[in-house]
Amino acid sequence: MADIVLTTLNARYAHAAFGLRYLLANLGALQQRTRLLEFDIHHRPLDVVEAILAENPKIVGIGVYIWNTTLATAVVAELKRLRPEVLVVLGGPEVSYETDQQEICRLADYVITGEADLAFADLCGQLLEGGRPEQRVIAAPLPDFSQLVLPYDFYDDRDVAHRVIYVEASRGCPFSCEFCLSSLDIPVRNVPLERFLPAMQRLLERGVRRFKFVDRTFNLDVKIGGAIMEFFLQRQRPGLFLHFEMIPDRLPQELRQIICRFPPGMLQFEVGIQTFNAEVSARISRRQDEQRLCDNLRYLRQNTGVHVHADLIAALPGEDLASFAAGFDRLVGLGPQEIQVGLLKRLRGTPIVRHDQAWGMVYSPNPPYEVLQTKTIDFRTMQELRRFARYWDLVANSGNFVRTTPRLWAAGSPFFGFLRFSQWLFGRIGTSHGIALARLAELVFEFLVEELGQNAGELAGVIWEDYQRGRRSDRPAFLLKHLPGQAMKIQRRTPSGSMPKRQLRRLS
């Protein structure tokens, strides 16, 4: 039984609710009266409500995000229907803006906007003492890290064994890209290293091997970023994996010297390219030195073992298909292991909406609020881009077709070559989900042989080599007639610790 329940619906079980752990860490004496309950978006709302009410709480705090807002609304509605006396407090980025337009905010008793680490504890203290603040929407003052208790001791043994461990060395962003919530005048604040590094040491001693840094600009302060990398470099062990989100045009020599000392596969950098169209960048207030960006990506691919995950956004205001294709091809030429193609989303509170009229921006009113059409990209083409992104993830990003993927465009445009494959594939199967790997491999083979006229025998060998990267023991039937038995001998590979599967397959 608990007076306070902290809960949310994560995108999947492997994700841990980092924000809730910050709230719990900063509840002070109220921690003993609090229970953390985590669910994921595959749970039914009524089952979530049942588990919450089993604790007989007085206050329920719910983290609301773009991926769970629909289900969270249903949970709040049922909670208030069954136990109207239970006080529901909302927080999270999805309810921090446009609160007056959201049903979930209308249903709740209180909404805390912004970083609620301290404000939630203050509100709970008042409510449990019988106070009722008149203001339903509470704007949380921006906390400094000197005020906060760090949350890392609130990852339990199950989290350590089975979940992604999120950490942060800083909050905020100095840039003003209009599609991003971090552009909203949120200053950068760093966790003091004398507090942060001992917390990381404790996680290492407990067996954590995969750290995902959620900092938006990890390499903004080169001295701090370098110190953290050096810390982990000196403590490297089998299976250690570090994910950082990096500013792509900021990689000075002092960082390069540290990065190149890491063994292959230990580092993953997520770099937000977003667009190579200078006019579009200026339109959305994005500052980026393209020459430095390209030099840095080349350096990472040619001189380090970093796994590079690069992001591009399709359908930014004023960008047409030809412009996006040119940027995509340019990025492919720089060689990142993964390119995440995302359609523009209209996140609540972001100033990207100022372009709606001039550029005919039409967004879905439902999460994740993706763009449906623009003045320069019609709805049908947008649907093709959406499928392109999904198939690219399944084929090119997955690590299952490392040698096969470039054959889809041969010496031509990677974008238009893969778009042709994407259009053919959708015409062939009519879906972009639920495709078994063996079936996908067969479809790739069929396209390359029948549509592009590639040699079946040679191609079969390439696909078989790729297929084994996942350490599979089955032999796809469609390859048997093209490869002799000896050629399809299964190669046994030694597992490489707890590195993510996509990265492992690229190192095979």
| Average pLDDT across the chain, whole number | 94
The pLDDT value recorded for residue 507 is 79
Tell me the pLDDT tens digit for each residue of 254-295.
999 999 999 999 999 999 999 999 999 999 999 999 999 999
The pLDDT value recorded for residue 187 is 85
pLDDT mean over 69-98: 97
pLDDT mean over 189-205: 97
Name the pLDDT band for 58 (thresholds 50, 70, 90).
very high
pLDDT mean over 139-149: 94
Q: Is residue 274 part of a domain?
A: yes
Residues 387 and 271 in one domain: no
Residues 239 and 120 in one domain: no
In whole angstroms, what is the distance from residue 208 CA to residue 162 CA? Answer: 10
Alpha carbon separation from 39 to 66, 193, 432, 456, 488 (Å, rounded): 15, 32, 27, 47, 43
Q: What angle do CA 419, 468, 428 make, to 5 degrees?
A: 30
Tell me the pLDDT tens digit for each residue of 284-338.
999 999 999 999 999 999 999 999 999 999 999 999 999 999 999 999 999 999 9
Q: Are 241 and 265 in contact (CB under 8 A)?
A: yes
Residues 175 and 323 in one domain: yes
User: What is the residue range of 177's domain?
Assistant: 164-362
pLDDT at 185 over 80: no
Residues 340 and 420 in one domain: no
Residues 187 and 288 in one domain: yes
The pLDDT value recorded for residue 498 is 64
Residues 211 and 124 in one domain: no
Q: Is residue 244 part of a domain?
A: yes
Q: Is residue 394 part of a domain?
A: yes
**CATH number of the CATH domain containing 257:** 3.80.30.20
The pLDDT value recorded for residue 493 is 56
Residues 24 and 63 in one domain: yes
Q: Is residue 178 part of a domain?
A: yes
Residues 350 and 387 in one domain: no
Residues 184 and 131 in one domain: no
Q: Is 425 helix (H, G, I), strand (E, B) or coil?
A: helix
pLDDT at 492 over 80: no
Percentage with pLDDT > 70 across the chain: 97
482: tokens are 């093209």
193: tokens are 């290293």
pLDDT at 169 over 60: yes
Residues 52 and 191 in one domain: no
Name the pLDDT band for 174 (thresholds 50, 70, 90).
confident
The pLDDT value recorded for residue 334 is 97
State the amino acid at position 39 in one-letter form. F
How many other C-beta atoms can be found within 10 angstroms of the C-beta atom of residue 281?
18
Name the pLDDT band for 367 (thresholds 50, 70, 90).
very high
187-195 CB contacts, 8 Å cutoff, 24+ apart: 187/142, 188/217, 188/220, 188/221, 189/144, 189/145, 190/145, 190/221, 190/224, 191/145, 191/150, 192/145, 192/146, 193/224, 193/227, 193/228, 195/145, 195/150
pLDDT at 184 over 80: no
Q: Which residues pair with 370 in a beta bridge?
A: 345
**CATH number of the CATH domain containing 13:** 3.40.50.2300
Q: Is residue 431 part of a domain?
A: yes
Residues 253 and 333 in one domain: yes
Q: Domain boundary residue among 86, 111, 143?
A: 143
Q: Which residues of 298-320 are buried (b: 16+ CB within 10 A; e: fewer)?
A: eebeeebbbbbbbbbbbbbbbbe
Q: Is 43 helix (H, G, I), strand (E, B) or coil?
A: coil
Residues 29 and 112 in one domain: yes
pLDDT at 453 over 60: yes
The pLDDT value recorded for residue 96 is 96
Task: Indicate the number of domains in the chain.
Answer: 3
13: tokens are 């079980």
From the list 471, 464, 470, 415, the residue with the least C-alpha distance to 444 is 464
The pLDDT value recorded for residue 503 is 83
Q: What angle do CA 390, 392, 394 make, to 5 degrees?
A: 70
pLDDT mean over 479-492: 74
The pLDDT value recorded for residue 296 is 97
How many other C-beta atoms can be found within 10 angstroms of the C-beta atom of residue 226?
18
Tell me the pLDDT tens digit for each residue of 110-137.
999 999 999 999 999 999 999 999 999 9
Tell me the pLDDT tens digit for each residue of 8-52.
999 999 999 999 999 999 999 999 999 999 999 999 999 999 999
